[in-house]
Structure 1
Amino acid sequence: MKKNVLIMCQYFYPEYVSSATLPTELAEDLIEKGLSVDILCGYPKEYYEGKEVPIKEQYKGINISRVKYTEFNNKSKVGRIANFFSFFMAILLRFPSLFKYECVLVYSNPPILPLLPYLISRITKTKFIFVAFDIYPDNALKLGAIKKGGFIEKLMKGINKRVYGYATSVVALGNEMKHYMIKQGLVSEEEKIKVIPNWYSTNKITDSATVFNKEFKELREKWPFIVLYSGNMGTAQDMDTILECVSMLKNREDVLFIFTGHGNKASYVKEYLNSNEIKNAKVDGFLLGSDYTDILKISDVCLVSLAAGIEGIGVPSKTYGYLAAGKPVLAIMSDETDISKNLHEYNAGGNVIQGEAEKLKVLIMKYMGNREDLEKASSNARKIFEDLYERKICTDMYYHMIMEAINKGKL
C-alpha cells in the first residue's frame, strides 16, 4: 500500500530559515491530520550550527531522510550551481525508492529538483504538487544573474514546461504570482493554480512585553522610534531606496534604523552606513529565537522590499512575522502585490514604489509624529495576520489540496 505524501525540499528541520521552517511546519500539521509524511531533504549545514544530525530520523511522526551534497560557497554563481546539481544527483540516487507515494510535494529550490517528481508522475499515477517559492529562471534573468538566451535559461525553460504542465497543482504565494504564471504561459489551466501564502507561527510570538536581550533593551530606552529591516539583504531586495531614506534622516536623534539578516548586500549596507557617517543606524547578523522576538518587540514599524520587476516572481515571507507581532509594515514594492493591497485595505502601514525614498521618509515620519495612528496600525497589522496568514489557515489549504490530488484518480 502506498504512503500518503513525500515532501522534497533542500532545507528542513533543524535548519532555521523560512525555506526550512515552512515545510517542517506543514509536515507537522499534515501528520496531525492523519496523513503519513516522509521527507527527502538536504543535510543541514548552511543554516544550522548545532550538533551533527542523523541521516535518517523520525521527528514528530515525520520520517526524515537526508542526503549530503557539496558545500561550495553559495554566494558564488559557480558554487551555487554546483551545489544545486550535487543535491539533485544525491536525490536522483534515491529515485527507485520514490514510487511508493500517492502524492509528492516539491519546492522550487533548487529549481531543477521538481524534474524528479515530474518523471515519477510520467512513469506512475503518482500526483505531484509544485510549490513555487519563486519563479526561475525569470528571477535570475530580471536580476542579471544569468545570460538571456544562454544554456541555463534554455534548460530551465524546458524543465518548467514539463513541471508546470504536468503538475496536479501549482502553488503560487500570491495573486500577483498567479497572474504572472498565466501571463507568461507557464500554466494554461488557471484552476490548477492554488494561491496559498506563506505563514508565521504564533508560538514564535510571545505576549510578554519583556525584552531579554540587554543591548536591545538599551536601544529601546534610548531611541524614541525604531525602524526595523530584518531578513535577506540580497539581489532580490531593493536596499537603495531604504538607504537613501536613512540618509535623509541621518541627522535625527529620535529615530534608529536597525538592519538584521544576511545576503549578498549585507556588506554593501554596512559600507554605505559607514561611508556616509550615519550614526542612527546599525547592522546585526541573522537573529534567532528570543533575540528575533526581542528585536520585533522594540521596533515601531518594519520594512520589507522587492527589487523592481521582482513582483510576481517572489514574495517576501518576512512580512508575516512582522504582522504576527502587530507591527505596521512599510513596503517598497508595486501597488499590485497582495502585501501592498492588504496594508492599504486594513490601514496597517503602506507602500511606496522602488526609488521613492522621499515618500518612504514621509510614511515613517507620519508614524513618528502620531502615536495614536501607530497604535491603530499595529492593531490592524495583527488583524491582517489573524485573517489571512495564520499557520492553521494556510496549512489547511495545503491539506485540502493534497487530499483533492490524492482522490482525483480514485473517483
Structure 2
Amino acid sequence: MKIIYITQHFPPEIGAAPARAYDLSYYLGKLGHNVTIITAFPNHETNFGIFKKETMDHVNVYRMFRMKDTKQSALRRLMNYFSFTFSSFIGGIFVQKPDIVYATTPQLFQTFSGWLLSKWHRAKFVLEVRDLWVDFAEILGQFKNKKLLNLARKLEKFLYKKADLIVVVTNGYKDRLVSEGIPEEKIIVIPNGVNPALLNDTYANYKDIKTEYNLQNKRVILYSGNIGSAQGLETVIQAAIKLKDNSDYIFLFIGEGVEKKRLKELAEQNQLSNVRFIDQIPKDELISYYKAADIGIVSLKKHPLFSITIPSKMFDYLSMSIPVLIGVDGEARQIIEKLNGGYFFEPENADDFIRALFNAFENEAELKRMRKNLKERLLAHYNREMFAKKLSDHIELLHKKKERGNA
C-alpha cells in the first residue's frame, strides 16, 4: 500500500517523535509498503529552503518549509506549527495518490493537514495520538489563551471523530478516549519501544566518559532528554543539594529545554560540584554516556494525566541495559516492575528520590542481576519491528474495508 506519513520531526533530529517515525516507517517499508514521509526541515538548521526530496533507507522523505521555533515565545511556536501544517498539505498534494494518510500528534495542527489530504486523495485517515497535547499544553502553561485552547480542543475532538483508525501509545490514552465517546473498536494501542536493529553490544568508537570527565569511582546518574517543564527535574537538583557533601554520586544532564537555564542557575547558586550539564549531542554519541551511566532517570511531574503516560526515554535506557529510577506512577512504573528494570520514587519528592537511589546502590549484586538480559526482556515485549507488523495488519484491514465499500 501507499502511505503518506506526516510528522514534523524526523531524523536527523533526535528525540522520541523522530525515532518512532523513523522506526515505524522503516519497518512498514520492509513489509512492502510504499511510505512517503512528509516532514519539516530540522529545526536546528538555519539555512533551509521551501522543499527538498530525499531517500532515507528506502523511505521517501519530503522536507517542507517551516518557520523556525526559537522556543522563546508561544507565538513563535504557533508560527512554527501553522507554517508546517500549511506546507505539509501542499507537499502531500503532489505525492502519488496514497491508500492511507497517517498523521501523528504532537503537534495537533499537522494532523488536520493529514485529514485534509485524506479527503483530497480519497484515502483512509489514521490519527496517531502520542500524547494528549491540548491537555498537556494547558497543564504546563504552554498556551494560556483560553479561546485558543478551546478551539484546539474542538479540533482534537473533530479529528477523533473523523479518523478511520486511531493509534495511541498507552492503554490509559485508549481508556481516556473511550470515556470521551470514541468507539473502542477504532482505537489500537501501539506502544513506544526499541528498534531491534539498533541493539548491538559492540561499540567500537565509544569514548571513555568516566576518564574524560574524571568520574572514576563515581556513581553516575544520567538524565538524557528534554529538560522541559513536564519532567519535574527540579526534584533531582533538590536531591543533589541534599547530597552535595556526598562525593560518591554525580548527576549528568544531557539535552536542551525551557527549564535548562533555570536548573543550571539553581545548581550554580548552591555551588553543586555533583551536577554537570552537557549540551544536546547526536544520538550515536550518546552511547558513550550510556555506557558510563550506572543508572538513568525517568521523571515527570505529579499529575493524574502523567500516570497514563509512558516516557519513551525509559526504553532508551533499558535498551542499553541501564536500570532506571522511575518517577512516573501508573503504566510506566508497571512496565519497569514487569521487566525488573529499576526503582520507583514518588514524583516531585526529593527525599523519596534519594531513598530509591540509595536502595539501588546498597545492593550492587541486585543491580548487576537487573542489568543482565535486560535488553532481551525489553525486546520480548516492546519490539518496534513487531509493532510495525501489528500496525500493518490494521491498516491493511482498513484498506480492505474501503475496497469492499467501493465494490
The normalised TM-score by structure 1 is: 0.90
Q: How far has the Cα of 1:282 moved from its partner?
A: 0.9
Q: Matches of residues 3-402 of structure 1 in structure 2 within 5 Å?
A: 4-46=2-44, 55-94=52-91, 96-97=93-94, 100-122=97-119, 125-147=122-144, 150-183=146-179, 185=180, 187-208=181-202, 212-219=206-213, 222-309=216-303, 310-311=305-306, 314-334=309-329, 336-337=330-331, 339-379=332-372, 381-402=374-395
Shift in Å, 1:125 = 4.4
Hey, what does 2:399 align to over in structure 1?
Answer: 406
**Post-superposition shift, 1:215?**
4.1
Encode CA deviations 1:147-168: one digit per residue, 9 max, x unaligned.
37x2211221221122111212
Give, in angstroms, the shift of residue 58 of structure 1.
2.5
Cα distance, 1:81 vs structure 2: 0.6
CA distance in 2, matches of 1:131, 1:17: 17
Change (3 A) 1:36 1:211: closer
Letter in 2 for 1:197: P
**Structure 2 regions of 5+ residues with no counterpart?**
none
Alpha-carbon distance between aligned partners in 1 of 2:293 and 2:39, rounded to the nearest angstrom: 35
Specify the code of the residue in structure 1 equivalent to 2:223.
Y
CA shift for structure 1 position 141: 0.9
CA–CA distance in 2 between the matches of 1:216 and 1:294?
9
Instruction: Quote the Cα distance in structure 2 between the aligned partners of 1:134 and 1:276.
Output: 35
Deviates more, 1:157-166 or 1:207-216: 207-216
Counterparts of 1:235 and 1:8 in 2: how far apart (Å)? 26
| Structure 1 range deviating more: 352-361 or 198-207 | 198-207
Deviation at 1:123, TM superposition (A): 6.0
Q: Which runs of 5+ in 1 are unaligned?
A: none
**Are the structure 2 counterparts of residues 189 and 263 from structure 1 closer, same or farther at C-alpha, using a change threshold of 3 Å?**
same
In 1, Cα distance between the equivalents of 2:23 and 2:152?
29
| Counterpart contact for 1:72–1:79, Cα < 8 Å | yes
Q: How many percent of aligned residue pairs carry the same amino acid?
A: 23
8 A contact 2:343–2:360 mirrored in 1: no
Confirm or deny: 8 A CA contact 2:326 2:343 kept in the other structure. Answer: yes
Partner Cα separation in structure 2 for residue 384 and residue 268 of structure 1: 38
The amino acid that maps onto 1:315 is I
Mapped to 2, the partners of 1:94 and 1:210 lie a distance apart of 40
Root mean square deviation of aligned Cα: 2.5
* Offset, 1:214: 4.4
Shift of 1:65: 1.5
Query: 1:356, CA displacement in angstroms?
Result: 2.1
Q: Secondary structure at the match of 2:372?
A: helix
Q: Is the 8 A contact 1:262 1:285 kept in 2?
A: yes
CA pair 244-384 structure 1, distance change in 2 beyond 3 A: farther
Query: Are the structure 2 counterparts of residues 319 and 72 from structure 1 closer, same or farther at C-alpha, using a change threshold of 3 Å?
Result: closer
**Structure 1 residues 312 and 399 mapped into 2: Cα distance closer, same or farther (>3 Å)?**
farther
SS of 2:224's equivalent in the other structure is strand
Assess if the C-alpha contact under 8 Å between 1:230 and 1:259 holds in 2.
yes
Distance 2:310 2:380 in 1: 18
SS in 1 for 2:211: helix
Partners of 1:237 and 1:289 in 2: CA distance: 20
Q: Quick check: 2:37–2:59 contact (8 Å CA) kept in 1?
A: yes
Q: Which moved more, 1:207-216 or 1:282-291?
A: 207-216
Q: CA deviation at 1:205?
A: 4.3
User: What SS class does the counterpart of residue 57 from structure 1 fall into?
Assistant: strand
Deviation at 1:225, TM superposition (A): 1.4
**Which is worse superposed, 299-308 or 170-179?**
170-179
Q: TM-score, normalised by structure 2?
A: 0.91
